[in-house]
Amino acid sequence: MNTMTLDRAAAPAQPVRAIVADDKAMLKAAAELTRDLVKPRPGIYWADLIASSLVGYGALAAAIAVSSTALAIVAGVVAVLALYRGMSMIHELTHVKHAALPGFRSAWNALIGVPMMIPSFMYEGVHNLHHAKTRYGTSEDPEYLPLALMKPWTLPVFILVSALAPVGLLIRFGVLAPVSALSPKLRAAVVARYSALSINPHFRRRMPHGEEKARWDRLEAATAAWAVALVVLTATGVIPLKAFLIFLAVGSGVALINQVRTLVAHLWENEGEVMSVTAQYLDSVNVPPPALLPVLWAPIGLRYHALHHLLPGVPYHALGEAHRRLTAVLEPGSPYYKANYKGLPGLVGKLATATMRGR
């Protein structure tokens, strides 16, 4: 959910990546070498979700309960990382066939989506537009901004504004959801502008219909009830203010990490032109091994974000194997290797340098 408007610096006459032709050898290898990897393994999904939830909420409870500030900070960091991992599974919900993981979407919403106020409808029906071949990098892409072409001050604003996400979500579900039920005009605005985990401030969401609407209504009602209960119970002293503030702080930490990860998920060099698949790949980022820290800041396969744009149907637990197979057969001159980067600092520096050069 983002309504931020960011200024652009002077842009080049043509987008850097849009004119790249498709590399047929790379696309063929990606398709042929990974056909046996597309089936999700339920045991991995369920174990990951349950473990992330147990560790995350256990650490959150410890951060609230301990008297030592140092221990509270350590527990809070663990809570942020574990809940961030659990929340990142919303990405998988948009790609996996739900019949292959019966009950998983409901379980994810019960354990993560509703308690953290990001029910799955906030991403389902949105993220798939980012993968549409003719939408990626255009004004119709909800998850794209030409950040490399914008002014330098937009990058810290882009990151820091995410710290307010928990407050924004409380307002979205605790106030706007129940009030908009009484006003069709407000309801239309809430659905269009405040019901998507997107970064494009010009994106407007369509009204849900049929089964999608029924699921949306159930999840929104549950999340609204939770948001209202949090505020009321805190205001009446049932939930200590300290506990409420720590919960918000953990939510802010999760949002900040995710926003930094979003900042380096792409090179953000396109300015509205339709791009080839190879161009989309080159505008995206892999941070493969031997880098270790991406396990924390780009979990659930997000370290292979460029590869995911080549193979959106491959589940997160198989992307590492897909990467190994491709690097074993593709020639050194293949564009596949041009989307592989060493780590977070270099990517942030590359983007910051691009903005300062007025690209």
pLDDT tens profile 316-329:
999 999 999 999 99
Residue 18 lies in a domain: no
Task: State both tokens at 349.
Answer: 């520096």
Nearest Cα to Cα of residue 343 among 293, 282, 269, 275: 293
Mean pLDDT calculated for residue range 281-297: 95
Residue 11 lies in a domain: no
Compute how many other C-beta atoms are within 10 angstroms of the C-beta atom of residue 152.
15
Q: What is the pLDDT of residue 352?
A: 87
Q: What is the mean pLDDT of the chain?
A: 92
Number of domains in the chain: 1
DSSP letter string over 38-87?
A: -S--HHHHHHHHHHHHHHHHHHHHHHHH-S-HHHHHHHHHHHHHHHHHHH
Residue 185 lies in a domain: yes
Say if residue 331's pLDDT is above 60: yes
Residue 109 lies in a domain: yes
Mean pLDDT calculated for residue range 119-142: 94
Q: What is the pLDDT of residue 358?
A: 55
Mean pLDDT calculated for residue range 28-46: 97
Say if residue 2's pLDDT is above 50: no
Q: What is the pLDDT of residue 32?
A: 96
Q: What is the pLDDT of residue 6?
A: 44
pTM of the model: 0.92
Residue 19 lies in a domain: no
Q: What is the pLDDT of residue 243?
A: 98
Residue 155 lies in a domain: yes
pLDDT class of 53 with cuts at 50, 70, 90: very high
Q: What is the pLDDT of residue 151?
A: 87
Long-range CB contact pairs, 97-104, < 8 A, 24+: 97/40, 100/39, 100/40, 100/42, 101/40, 101/42, 101/45, 104/42, 104/45, 104/46, 104/49
pLDDT class of 71 with cuts at 50, 70, 90: very high
pLDDT tens profile 178-234:
999 999 999 999 999 999 999 999 999 999 999 999 999 999 999 999 999 999 999
Which sign, positive or negative, has the C-alpha torsion 139, 159, 5, 231? positive
Residue 2 lies in a domain: no
Residue 349 domain boundaries? 24-127+138-356
Residue 10 lies in a domain: no
Q: What is the pLDDT of residue 19?
A: 67
Q: Which of 13-27, 37-51, 66-80, 268-282 is predicted least confidently?
A: 13-27
